[in-house]
Every structure is written in structure tokens, then in C-alpha cells.
Chain A
Amino acid sequence: MAASNDLAKPGEYKPIDLLAVAAAREVNDGDIVFAGTGLPMLAIMLAQQASAPNAVCIYEAGSIDGRPIDLPTSVGDARCAHQASVAAGLTEAFYGQLHSGYVDLAFLGGAEIDKYGNVNTTVVGDYCSPEKRFTGSGGNPDINALARRTVFIMVQEKRRFKENVDYITSPGWRLPKWPSGEMVHKKEVYGKFFRGGVEAVITNMGVFRFDDEGLMYLDTVHPGFTAEQVKENCGFDLNISRVSGETKPPSYYELELLYTKVDPEGIFLP
């Protein structure tokens, strides 16, 4: 018998479960989702099984609307292309699907984020002689640039939520317009190519959204945390005046799907 839609109680789920479930709830049924590796994969596959059966998924390595029966470990994985509508390459994914305007929702990760939703996945410190290098951009800024909405899924730590990121890998709401580098709204950088931007950031502590100025605010707090604790874990002066309540915990049904259908092998879920 399927598990119920009753909500799980604190202690009955792990922080990563809520991260995946909260992200999955951002998917509207019928969305064309362009997802990155890791938690975004869990979230889209959960959404497809739980609440958005008509959502489809594109991965940048070239699988268009795949129907994996085994969780891929990365977007290049053979499993992504199982029962795909089209198995092509990066040109098709980035230009044929994304640039052409099909993509509703970008589902991405990040290492650091600033108050305008600019994300860094490139370096810590001065780019010309960095202290640490992350993986680099990958397709993160591309997908985020031209999807109509973007949801970032991240771990929340004070050092990762910064006033200014060391390097803007992926575009938020206020950006440098090159060559001058003047900070302007994303609309001014993208002009007629503008389609939208960062809609939500989901962490292990809460769900964040952006106001009309493009500034991040706390929308809901995960069970077990207070808004003040979230603000404490943020490197900039977070707006907590608009908190609308507590994040809805996972249902028993969503948890069962996560552990028996989406990731039964324990690839991303411990």
C-alpha cells in the first residue's frame, strides 16, 4: 500500500530529503526543465513522479526528454538517454532547446551566492591568483541566463552566502555590463533576449526568493529553524521581514518515492 500524503514529523526525514522535496515543488506540471547534476536530478525525477507528471527534463550532454529508469550519476550518463525523445549533443541542448526558448525552469547548484542571486562556481579569492578553484562554470550560467525561471539548490553556510561573490560565474539580478563593468539589472544586460531569472534558492535551512529590486529575502523557514538562525547563517544582511511561514515538510509518500523509486541505490541520498 502506498504511503500516505500525511506530512512527516521532524526526525523522520533528513535535511537533504527536504531539500529535494522543496525543490521538486517548484516544478509546475508541464514545465520544460533543464537540470544540472546531483540534487537537481533528484528533484526533477521526484517532481515527475509526485506532482508534475507532464514536466520534461533536458540534460546538457544532449538527452532531450529522457525517461531514465535508473538514476544517472551525471548528465553525461548513458542512463539519461533511456527512452529519450531525442538523443543529441550539446549544440542541440544549448542552442536547439535553450537559446531557442523552450526552457521554463533551470534547476542548478552553486558553491557561493550573493544577495542578488549571482552564483560563483569558479574560484575563491582573486581570479588571477586564486586561493582555491572549484569546478568552473559548466553550463550553469548558460541555463540560468535564458531559462524563464531558475531555482538554485545549495548548502547554506555563512561563508557561502556573501555580500559579493569572488567571481560571478552565473548571472543573478544585478550584473556587470561589460566592457565597463557597471552593475545594472539583468534586463539591461540581456535586452530583448531577457526571459527571466533567479526565482528561488533552496537550502537546508529555508527557501529564499527575490523582491522587485532583485534582492534576496527569506520566504519560508524549514521546520526546526528560526528566521533569526537563518539570518545568522548568512554573510549579508538578509531580509527576514517577509517570511510567510514554515516550509512544508516532506510527505510520507514523497519520502517513499525518493528512497524506493528515485534513488534506491543510495547515489545522492545517504
Chain B
Amino acid sequence: MGKPQRITLKEAGALINDGNMLTFSGFTIWRRPMALIYELVRQGKKGLHLFEVNGGTHTEVLAGAGAINIWESCWVGHELYGKLGEGVARAQCENTIIIEDYSHAQVVARLLAGAYGLPFFPTALSMGTDILNPQYDMLKKAGLRDGSNPKIPMQKYTMADDPFYAMGEILLMPAANPDWAIVYASQVGDEGTIRVNAQTYTDAEVIKAADKVIVLAEEIVPDSYLRSEPEKNIAPGYAVNYVVELPWAAHPTGSQGYYDVDADFIRNFYAASKTKAGYDKWAEEWIFGVDGHDEYLAKLGITNLEKLRANKVLGYSTRAKRGSR
């Protein structure tokens, strides 16, 4: 394994093949690897299989582009800045996407098993819900639980009796091991050590669960700096395959300690995403209309970006207007 390889954003995009199973860092509208999401759309990727702890603006950018074939997750939206995931919802209602719904902690269970090299993980969470209704196993309905795809388990879940303390029935959730984890991290050492700030979400788990890992680094710093406080780091360099250094790579999602969520940008995207035509027009302007990340940032403009920049003490912006007062 050794040290991760430094590559460009375009090279990172080219590594992802149509049909690959992807997972991501972050949580809803925080620490999402947006720059590479845009690049995947720019490169015309199709048939992607997303397995993610929850969806967000990044999911909707891919859904609007018709890039997703299978979406396994539990939630999609833009939090306060867009209450639904319009692209995913439209695709589900039009039957152009296969959705497998779980609860949040059930997705975490699948990632934990995948991360720790276990075939399954037990959980008593969200039993007795329609998530477990056998009629709603959409991958099975699509004939994809026949074992031919090594990334799709032969059952959505099973129930088992606790054989040790007679606790009764508990859910067993199968491991998830996506082809790729696409991660945004605040700081990456020059030997690949990974650090994120504040909540860690499932970032460490997706890195371990995926076969290969691409990290977009807000900044690359000396590994010796990160190693002086190893308890703050979430992964060693040998767990990472590729690194792209790219400031503001999570925009419009937020990055604790660096910048806040760009609320207006997400509101505008959400409004556009309500129709196919609206999405296409938005994508023409913000994805296809720019040659890459530098042009995207130039188009956003320094005045806008500076409003989002995090207060160095608090870790979030105190200048972005958030509410009605």
C-alpha cells in the first residue's frame, strides 16, 4: 500500500467506472466531496450504485444528471435549505432508479460490518417497520439478489435468535464494501494521515469499508504535524489510495473549521432541481459551463466565499446570514 498517490481532479474522475458502487464522507450538507461529484457529472458517468449513510446535495447533483442506478440509503434532502431530495424522489416515482431504504443506524450497521471485515452486524434498531417489509425489497424485485453481483447481498437482512443470553430476535445486517469511498477531509498529511474536525460522522468507517479510497484534501500538511496529536486523526495513509489537494472542495456543503454551508447556493440548486429542465439549466451553468474547480471558485467570487469562511475560534462563520432576522 504505502503512501497515497497525488493526482488531479480529472484523473480522480477517470478512475470511477460506470456501474461502480460508491460511498462518501460527510453528513447531509456537511463535508461532501462536491468537486469530484461535479467532475463525475462532467465526465458523464452513468449507472452508479450509491451506498451512503445519508444523501444530500451531492446525491441530488448525481440524481439530476441521471447518473444513479441504485440508491441504498435512508434519507435525502438539503436540511433547512431544501426539504426534499427532488431528483431522487422524481426518479423513484418514475421508476428510473432502484431504491433500497434502511434506517440510519441500519446503514451504519452495514458500514460497520464492512469496515471491520465482518460478514454482518447485529442491531435491534428499527425493528417492526416497513423498512423490513419483504414486499419492499426492491433489489430482490429487480432480480439482483441472485448472488451474481458480489456487492449485493443475497438477502436485505435476516432475523436471528440471540444464542448467548437469550435476548430473543435481533436483526442481522449484511456488510457493505463499496468499490470506492470518495472522501472530503479537512487535513491530509503528506504521507496520507487523515484528520477531520468536530463530528466524525461515518468518515472513518467508509474509508475502511471501501475497496479503494480517493480523498479530496482541503489542505495538505506535514504528516509530522498531524502525528503530534494522533488522537485527532481518523485514518492512516496506507488506507488511502489517492489524494487530490483542492481548497473549497466541499462547497456548497460546509467544512467545520474552514467554511459554512452556502445556504443561498443550495436553495438555488434545490429550486432548480424540482424539474429536469431546471436541473439541466443549473448544471449547464455550474458544472458543464466551468472547466473545473478553479473556474467554479472564480465564478462564485471571493466576496461570497469570504462570507462563508469559518471564524477561527468558533469553527463556523459568524457573518453568513442564516435566518430571517
Q: Which of B39-47, B120-128, B176-184 contacts A (4 or more CB under 8 A)?
A: B120-128
With beta carbons under 8 angstroms apart, the residue of B92, B103, B261 that contacts A139 is B103
**B79 x A74 contact (CB < 8 A):** yes
Residue in chain A with minimal CB distance to B84: A135
**How big is chain A's contact interface, by range?**
35 or more
**C-alpha spacing A270/B323, complex, angstroms:** 8
Q: How far is the CB of A262 from chain B (nearest CB, A)?
A: 12
B198 in complex: contacting residue of A81, A127, A266, A267, CB < 8 Å: A81
Contacts of A151 in B (CB 8 A): none
CB neighbours (8 Å) of B324 from chain A are 265-267, 270
Instruction: Report B255 CB to chain A, min CB distance, Å.
Output: 8
Check if A191 sits within 8 Å of B168, measured CB to CB.
yes
Give the CA-CA distance A127 to B315 in the complex, in Å: 41
Per the 8 Å Cβ criterion, residues 54-77 of B in contact with A are: 54-55, 73-77
Residues of B within 8 A of A89 (CB): 199-205
Given A81-B256, A133-B93, are A145 and B127 neighbors across the interface (CB < 8 Å)? yes
CB-nearest residue of chain B to A134? B84
Chain B residues in 8 Å Cβ range of A167 = 130
Tell me if B230 counts as interface (CB < 8 A to partner A).
no
Q: Determine if A88 and B103 form an interchain contact, defined as CB atoms under 8 angstroms apart.
A: no
The A interface is mostly helix, strand or loop, or mixed, namely: loop
Against B, the Cβ 8 Å flags (1 = close, 0 = not) of A75-108 are 1111111100001111100110011000000000
Q: From A61, A78, A98, A141, name the one whose CB has the most chain B CB atoms within 10 angstroms.
A: A78
Taking CB atoms and an 8 Å cut-off, the chain A residues in 137-159 that contact chain B are 137-142, 145-146
- How many Å lie between the Cα of A243 and that of B93 in the bound state? 41
Q: Chain B residues in contact with chain A, CB under 8 A?
A: 26-30, 53-55, 73-77, 79-80, 83-85, 88-89, 92-93, 95, 101-106, 108, 112, 123-136, 138, 141, 159, 166-170, 197-205, 254, 256-257, 260-261, 263, 310, 314-316, 318, 322-325
Question: Which A residues are within 8 Å of any B CB, using their own CB?
Answer: 37-38, 60-63, 70, 73-82, 87-91, 94-95, 98-99, 122-123, 127-142, 145-146, 167-171, 175-179, 181, 186, 189-193, 263-268, 270
